[in-house]
């Protein structure tokens, strides 16, 4: 039986991963860590589980400080984690998001961010290595089809609420603006 080198490498990778997983589980080392940085969000989607954004903003002072989050990241790294996820509401509404993201990356974590993508700006993109920034802009430009913000307003003509939609369609012009 002939085994090609690519098949052989895949088997070596599979064996390595199985051994790695077995050792990590035996030592009870967490592979992942995550934090919901905030319940705040820049959108007000009707379907969102977070609830009333105006009420959430009033409790902003109860969020963890930058220093507390960095200490948590240090604990996750000390425990042996490889991956870290920032989520929220939208973690990018925090003014210290770029600082926290950079801190986690410099600690050696593979970082994932769950966000709506609306707040990805030059400030956020500049956190990434300069060689990756054009690819990030291009990925965003190609991936976004539309941004929909939905807000419920009290009706003035009768009881209840009505939905108002704001829709930004990703046209070629919008995509070019994102790439720039």
Per-residue pLDDT tens for 91-101? 988 999 989 98
The residues spanned by each domain of the chain are: 29-179
Token pair for 108: 């050696």
pLDDT value at position 154? 79
Q: In the prediction, which pLDDT does 129 show? A: 77
Decide: residue 86, CB within 10 A, 0-12 exposed, 13-18 middle, 19+ buried: buried
Q: Is residue 7 scored above 50 in pLDDT?
A: no
**Residue 9 predicted with pLDDT over 60:** no
Average pLDDT score over residue span 33-60: 80
Mean pLDDT of 146-175: 74
* Band of pLDDT at residue 62, cut at 50, 70 and 90: confident
Question: What pTM value is reported for the model?
Answer: 0.65
User: Is 121 or 133 the better-scoring residue by pLDDT?
Assistant: 133
Task: Return the H-helix or E-strand segment holding 37.
Answer: strand 32-38
DSSP class of residue 64 equals: P
* pLDDT surpassing 80 at residue 159: yes
**CA 85 centroid distance within chain:** 7
Q: What whole-number distance in Å separates Cα of residue 177 and Cα of residue 77?
A: 37
Task: Tell me the mean pLDDT in the region 84-90.
Answer: 89
161 pLDDT above the threshold of 80: no
Q: How many CB atoms lie within 10 A of CB 33?
A: 18
Stronger pLDDT, 166 or 32, i.e. the higher one: 32
Q: Where residue 68 falls among pLDDT bands split at 50, 70, 90?
A: very high
Tokens linked to 5: 């080198």
Q: What number of helices (H) and strands (E) belong to the chain?
A: 7, 5
The pLDDT-based confidence of 147 (bands split at 50, 70, 90) is low
């Amino acid at each position: 039986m002939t085994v090609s080198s690519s098949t052989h490498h895949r088997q070596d990778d599979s064996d390595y991963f199985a051994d790695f997983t077995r050792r990590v589980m035996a030592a009870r080392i967490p592979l992942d860590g995550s934090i919901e940085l905030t319940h705040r969000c820049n959108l007000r989607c009707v379907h969102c589980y977070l609830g009333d954004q105006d009420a959430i903003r009033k409790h902003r002072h109860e969020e963890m400080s930058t220093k507390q989050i960095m200490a948590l990241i240090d604990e996750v790294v000390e425990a042996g984690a490889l991956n870290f996820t920032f989520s929220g509401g939208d973690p990018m509404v925090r003014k210290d998001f770029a600082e926290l993201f950079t801190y986690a990356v410099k600690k050696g974590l593979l970082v994932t961010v769950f966000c709506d993508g609306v707040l990805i700006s030059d400030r956020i993109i500049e956190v990434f290595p300069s060689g990756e920034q054009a690819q990030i802009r291009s990925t965003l430009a190609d991936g976004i089809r539309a941004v929909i913000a939905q807000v419920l307003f009290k009706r003035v003509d009768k009881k209840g609420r009505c939905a108002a939609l704001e829709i930004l369609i990703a046209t070629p012009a919008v995509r070019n603006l994102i790439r720039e």
